[in-house]
């Protein structure tokens, strides 16, 4: 299964950080929040990612192009310029597709541009590059597969500054994007979609949350998975500081990969022992 992560926005509300890098590359504990999100998925066995790039996409490309070298020891022959990377098993077994989806493309438009990277009738994960959670991805997927609709959104509790969601059992019947005053269930950003949901996106100007999602609601095709555990976005410096403090305390709730199922840990250990080609690079 693939996970699509939006990483192309301008991050204007976090401008103190995003003048030099895209918001998904803002660091928590010395690692980009994008890395944290990918680890959340990988803890549940999802290891293929499609990253939708836009603003300063070259920063994200450079990060992954250098990932192998930066996460291992390196020997450099200064006379010849040759380098040898010593594989210490410090890199995840991920496949990462980095796709330019345009500088000014809206959230729905970015997803539509990635349609060709998906199968004809495929179920996939979809999220933003700025939110962390201790969500059980496997339970979310099981919920989605059980109801048979095109889309599932993870809903979480949060203050009034976020949009509000109304339920009829598990079906979404109202989706208010950032009302002036309300509290309740909100869009937590972790979706499961069937490719048919992309048909609700018209073009590059389609905003996923305001246009496509509302159309899915009208057609009864959006279901909500209630997550009562930890969730936080990183829209502001205050939220970044909050996440940084949690990480530094050693009690970050979203660091679920250290508690991944035993079978996944054994498989990861086996992969880390595979030999890699050495020599000059």
Position 113 in a domain: yes
Average pLDDT over residues 5-19: 85
Give how far the C-alpha of residue 276 lies from the chain's centroid of Cα atoms, to the nearest Å: 28
Position 129 in a domain: yes
Position 209 in a domain: no
Average pLDDT over residues 36-52: 98
Average pLDDT over residues 12-27: 86
Report the predicted TM-score, pTM, of the whole model to 2 decimal places: 0.84
Position 51 in a domain: yes
**List of residues 6+ apart from 167 with CB closer than 8 A:** 173, 185, 224
**pLDDT tens digits along 82-113:** 999 999 887 899 999 999 999 999 999 999 99
CATH of the domain at 71: 3.90.550.10
Is the CA virtual torsion 118, 120, 124, 128 positive or negative? positive
**pLDDT tens digits along 220-235:** 999 999 999 999 999 8
CB 172: neighbour CB atoms within 10 A? 25
Query: How many domains does the structure of the chain reveal?
Result: 1
* The token pair that represents 39 in the structure block: 């680890």
In a 3-state reduction of DSSP, which class is residue 224? Answer: strand
Position 186 in a domain: no
Does position 267 have pLDDT exceeding 60, yes or no?
A: no
* The token pair that represents 44 in the structure block: 């549940």
Domain range for 122:
2-147+231-272
* The token pair that represents 119 in the structure block: 């199968």
Position 121 in a domain: yes
Position 182 in a domain: no
Q: What does each C-alpha distance from 143 to 4, 96, 166, 191 come to in angstroms?
A: 19, 26, 18, 11
Give me the chain's average pLDDT, please: 88
- Distance, CA of 174 to CA of 179 (rounded, Å): 12
Identify the pLDDT of residue 57: 97
Position 126 in a domain: yes
**List of residues 6+ apart from 268 with CB closer than 8 A:** 92, 93, 260
């Amino acid at each position: 299964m693939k996970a699509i992560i939006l990483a192309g926005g301008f991050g204007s509300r976090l401008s103190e950080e995003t003048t030099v890098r895209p918001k998904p590359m803002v660091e928590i504990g010395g690692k980009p929040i994008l890395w944290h999100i990918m680890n959340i998925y990988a803890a549940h066995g999802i290891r293929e990612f499609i990253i939708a790039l836009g603003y300063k996409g070259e920063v994200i490309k450079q990060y992954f192009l250098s990932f192998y070298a930066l996460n291992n020891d390196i020997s450099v022959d200064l006379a010849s310029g040759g380098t040898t990377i010593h594989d210490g098993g410090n890199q995840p077994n991920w496949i990462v597709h980095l796709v330019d989806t345009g500088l000014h493309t809206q959230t729905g438009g970015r997803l539509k541009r990635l349609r060709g990277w998906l199968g004809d009738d495929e179920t996939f994960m979809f999220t933003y590059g700025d939110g962390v959670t201790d969500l059980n991805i496997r339970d979310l997927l099981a919920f989605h597969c059980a109801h048979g609709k095109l889309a599932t959104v993870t809903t979480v509790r949060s203050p009034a500054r976020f949009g509000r969601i109304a339920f009829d059992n598990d079906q979404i019947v109202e989706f208010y994007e950032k009302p002036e005053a309300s509290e309740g269930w909100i869009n937590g950003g972790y979706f499961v979609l069937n490719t048919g949901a992309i048909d609700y996106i018209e073009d590059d100007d389609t905003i996923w949350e305001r246009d496509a999602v509302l159309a899915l609601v009208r057609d009864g095709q959006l279901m909500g998975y209630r997550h009562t555990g930890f969730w936080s976005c990183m829209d502001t410096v205050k939220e970044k500081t909050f996440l940084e403090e949690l990480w530094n305390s050693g009690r970050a709730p979203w660091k679920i990969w250290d508690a991944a199922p035993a079978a996944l840990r054994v498989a990861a250990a086996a992969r880390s022992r595979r030999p890699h080609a050495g020599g000059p690079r």
